[in-house]
Amino acid sequence: MGLFSRLGLGRSSSRPSSRGSRGGRRPTGPDSAHLAEFAATRTGVEAYVEPATSVTPTTLVLVAQDGEWTRRRVPDPATARDFARRTGIPVYDVNLTGYPQRMREWTARKRREEGAS
């Protein structure tokens, strides 16, 4: 079973999950591929789980060592934690830890760069 087939990210939470031979959820599209690519091509990546709200589904934010970040939907917090465990990156509950300062600094730097061009 390959990495993408074990991630199980990008599935709509309203659809039933299908289980693989080892109990992992099956992947469903570009969200899982994007997260896996981000984690594999950046250094010092950490995962932050954002709980579902009445407006948004559960999401996973990956933050690299330099502060670059990305956010994608995940079916549930357990899937997000499973992704982090399988890729060997630390995972945090954003309600308990907040976002890292380097993420805010990276966003501010990008805004300044876009405004200057």
pLDDT tens-digit profile of 24-62? 444 456 888 999 999 999 999 999 999 999 999 999 999
Helices (H), the chain: 3-7, 30-41, 77-87, 94-97, 101-116
Residue pair 32/9 in contact by the 8 Å Cβ criterion = yes
Residues in the chain: 117
Q: How far apart are CA 65 and CA 106, in angstroms?
A: 10
In this predicted structure, the answer to whether residue 21 has a pLDDT above a threshold of 80 is no
- List the one residue out of 96, 112, 113, 101 whose CA is nearest residue 63: 101
pTM value is: 0.75
How many CA atoms does the CB half-sphere of 25 hold within 13 Å?
24
What pLDDT is stored for residue 51 in this prediction? 96
Average pLDDT, the chain: 83
